Each structure stands twice: as structure tokens, then as C-alpha cells.
Amino acid sequence: MKVKKLIALLAVSSMVMGLVTGCGNTESSQTQGAVAEETVEAVEEATEEVAAEETAQESTEVSADLSGTEISFLNSKGEIQAALEEMSAAFEEETGISVEIIACGAGESPYTKITSSYNSGTAPTMAMLDTTDIVALAEEYALDLTGEKWVGECENQVTKINDKVYSFPFCVEGRGLIYNKAAIEKTLGSDFDPTSINSYDALKKLLEELRAAGMESPVVISKEDWSLAAHQLGFIYDTYDGTTAGSAELISKLEDGSQKVEEYERFNQFIETLDLLLEYNINGEDPLGALYEQDPIFLADGEVAIWANGCWAWPNIAEAGALATDEYGFLPFVLGNDTTDFANTGVQAAASKQVMIDAVQATDVQREAAKAFLNWVVYAENGQKMLVENAAIIPACSNNVNEALDPLGKDIQTRLESGNVFSSSFIAPSDHWSVLGASMQKYIAGESTKEELAAEINTYWTSQK
């Protein structure tokens, strides 16, 4: 259709240019010149559309030789398991390639899962992992994807290891304090402006007002080690200066011992905010007895107003009864009282989950089939749409213009467009969440002090050298 449109425009352009050159009247020439200019612009626009369409078509064309190929995909985002299975079915219907979606067990470390698979000779063709795990495994196990077309679409989101791209940035994720606006406004009996929460004091005042108005415990804190160590404690790294390079600089100082965490301002600010949240935690009587399946129900039912989590939690909140039309969004995980601090005016959002293709155990045909799946996600209209609408994913590739349907995704997309985010995504060893997650669990349960937690963090990092 676009090609026919281009041919028609070219024909019209030729006629218009002929009229312009054959007319001697100045006023008429100026008018016709303007028409010619508009026509040329239309031709250029149509040419760009056709080029984009041809690129997408080339990228999603699958050789008939790949039909019937069976590949596998390790999924470390349990909340989108069903959506990935739906995408797999659609992809197979269109290409004949079968993609088995393998779920990472609840509480199971993706790093442990993938390394065990390699050791047993059963590695998946594709694996969705955290950036930390990709950095640890890529050069030994992952296929070099530097030359793939989609790298240009995701240029600002790809992870490079020694100037090579070994993984596809599957999604952009953001985290902070999820709020239920309706619950806040119903409790307080007044309008709530989320931008007003831009300091520790502002958050403290909100929580005090909610408790005074009848919401005794307006916060929910989950106990999972990955949540506590990667997503909560992670703020001390990501807010060093808001960049991944900055977080790496801090971690290097922690490793060589030149920075003691108890002397680091962000750590002290983090503990201050964490202590505040714990004071109002609905799971406070038994923090380690909290159930992740119950936590989103507290939020959706309006029993609490705030859940420390990220946009990946929307499927859980929706399953608990929330609607896509409800008003949920993010407050910053505030640190200190500087209302101009980027940590207090924005939220963290960056490419998180990465997909690598096996370079060791898969066959060449399977690798080509895996590339075809990634191209389908990036370029095929159905793949783009299902990624956003079925999986509730914020795409890392700029050519996917589908808008998020859920309120958390919409909030992050809006913030990305306005620049109201910081993009650091700290990289830590694969055992960071399990080791320091256990330390964090002791702290929220009141089984260790701030000083003891700091000592364990220092010991962890200096042992990495």
C-alpha cells in the first residue's frame, strides 16, 4: 500500500515540477512552487515510510528452513510467564518455529538455574537474565549479537562488554514507591498530588496523616531477598550520581575499602527512609512471614497506600483486582530532604532484563531461529503489540511506539519522555541478592542493627577483591 502511495506521489511530483518549469507568471509560479515543495516533502515522508516498512519486513522474514525448529527460552520474570507463552504460540503460528518457555522457579536464582543447565548440557537456546548475570556469563556462553539490526533501535539501552553486544534489552523497568491514589484520597478526603512527595519529611508527613485518618499501616514491605537487596538496597548504588558508571565507581570504592558504607551519605539516607517505611509496614508484626501473593492485595484493596516495588508488579496488582483505569503510579524512594535532588524528583528506570542466545550448546539452526524470535519482538507488528499489551512490558527499542496499557507502565513511559528518571542500573556479583538479601531480611526483622548491616555490606564487597 505504501509503495503504491509512493509511486503515485512520484508521478504527481513529476507533473507538478513540469508545470512549475513551464509557467512564466511570477505569482502563479510562487504558488505552484509551494505546492511542489509540499509534494516533495510528501514524497520524502512516503519514502521513509517505505524504507522503514522494508527494513521491518526484511527483519521479520523467516527462512522456510527454520519452520519446525524447536528452541527454548528461560524466563526469569515469573509474572509474564503466561504472556510469553501467548507470544510463543503467536510466533509459532506465523513462523513454524516452536519456542518452549521455561519458568525459573519461585525464589530460584536465574544465575544458578542457567549455570546448572550448562553444567548438565541442557542450556536453553535463549535466557532472560539480569544485566549482572549477562556480564558474568556473556563472553563464555553468549552469542555475539553486535551486528544485529535491532542494536540500532535500542542503541541507548544495550549493554556492551568489551565493545560487543551479547544480549537483547528485553524491557525497561522502573522502581520506587508504588502508590494507590484512590486509597490515599479516600482516606484523607482530599486531592493528592504525587509530586508533593519530594523529600523524607514530605513522605513522613503523608504517612502520619494517613495513620491519623484511619489507615493504621499504609505501607507494605515485601520480604523477598531479591526485592530487599536488588531493588531496595540497590538505591544506595544507583543514586551515587544516577548513572551506571557512577554506581560502578562506588562499588569499586567499596571493594577496595576506600569507602566504608556507614560513612556514605546515601546509605544513611536509605536506612532513614527504610526505617520510616518499616514503622508503617502492614507486615510489621512478622516481616519475614509476609506473603508476596498477599502484598499486592493489600494495595489493590486500599488497605495500604504504598508498596515498595517496581513496574513489573503490575500483573500481580491487576490479579489482585486493580483495573488499568485505576490511578497508580510511582513516588520516588526519597533520600534526605533536598527537594532538588534527582533521587527525590525522579525514579530509577533502565533496561533491566536482558536476553542472550546460547553460543555453546545450541545448533546453528537453533541460533538463527532464536534471532528470528528477537527480530519478531522488535519489528513484527504483532510481536511489538504483544510485548506491550500482553506482557505489560515497556520496550527498550525506540521503534516500538505502542503505549503501555497499565498505569505503572504509563507513568514510567511519561517519565522517560520528560526525562524525569535516572538511568543507573548497578552491576553486582550474582550472589549479591542472596547474600545481602539475607542481611536485609535480618535488619527488617529487627534481628540486626544498622551498624551490623553496614559491617556485612562492607565485608561482602571487600571479599570481592
Whether 148 and 231 share a structural domain: no
- Segment 331-365, tens digit of pLDDT: 999 999 999 999 999 999 999 899 999 999 999 99
Q: Which residue shows C-alpha cell 491519623? A: 212
**pLDDT by residue, tens only, the chain of 465 residues:** 444 444 444 444 444 444 444 444 444 444 455 544 554 455 455 544 444 455 445 545 666 689 999 999 999 998 899 999 999 999 999 999 999 999 998 778 899 999 999 999 999 999 999 998 999 999 999 999 999 999 999 888 899 999 999 999 999 999 999 999 999 999 999 999 999 999 999 999 999 999 999 999 999 999 999 999 999 999 999 999 999 999 999 999 999 999 999 999 999 999 999 999 999 999 999 999 999 999 999 999 999 999 999 999 999 999 999 999 999 999 999 999 999 999 999 999 999 899 999 999 999 999 999 999 999 999 999 999 999 999 989 999 999 999 999 999 999 999 998 989 999 999 999 899 999 999 999 999 999 999 999 999 999 999 997
Are residues 167 and 186 both part of a single domain? Answer: no
- 36 domain residue, yes or no: no
Number of domains in the chain: 2
The helix (H) or strand (E) run that includes residue 169 is strand 168-169
Task: Give 412-434 pLDDT, tens digit per residue.
Answer: 999 998 989 999 999 999 899 99
- This prediction has a pTM of 0.80
Q: Per the domain annotation, does 411 fall within a domain?
A: no
- Asked whether residue 391 is assigned to any structural domain, the reply reads yes
pLDDT, tens digit, 9 for 90 and up, residues 74-91? 999 988 999 999 999 999
Are 56 and 380 within 8 A, CB to CB?
Answer: yes
On whether residue 444 sits in a domain, the answer given is: yes
Measured between alpha carbons, how far is residue 379 from residues 54, 69, 374 in Å? Answer: 11, 21, 9
Q: How far apart are CA 21 and CA 441, in angstroms?
A: 79
Instruction: Tell me whether residue 265 is exposed, middle or buried, using C-beta atoms within 10 angstroms of its C-beta: 0 to 12, 13 to 18, 19 or more.
Output: exposed
CB atoms under 10 Å from CB of 395, counted, come to 25
Clarify whether residues 167 and 95 are in a common domain.
Answer: yes
- The answer to whether residue 2 sits within a structural domain is no
> Is the domain of 269 the same as that of 154?
no
- Domain shared by 125 and 250, yes or no: no
Same domain for 117 and 208?
A: no
**Are residues 146 and 259 both part of a single domain?**
no
Q: Which domain holds residue 233?
A: 173-349+424-462
Phi, psi of 357 (to 5 degrees): -105, 135
Q: Do 179 and 165 share a structural domain? A: no
Say what angle helices 381-389 and 364-379 make with each other, to 10 degrees.
Answer: 70
Burial 92-127 (b: 16+ CB within 10 A, else e): beebebbbebbebeeeebbbebbbebbeeeebbbbb
Q: What is the CATH number of the domain that holds 135?
A: 3.40.190.10
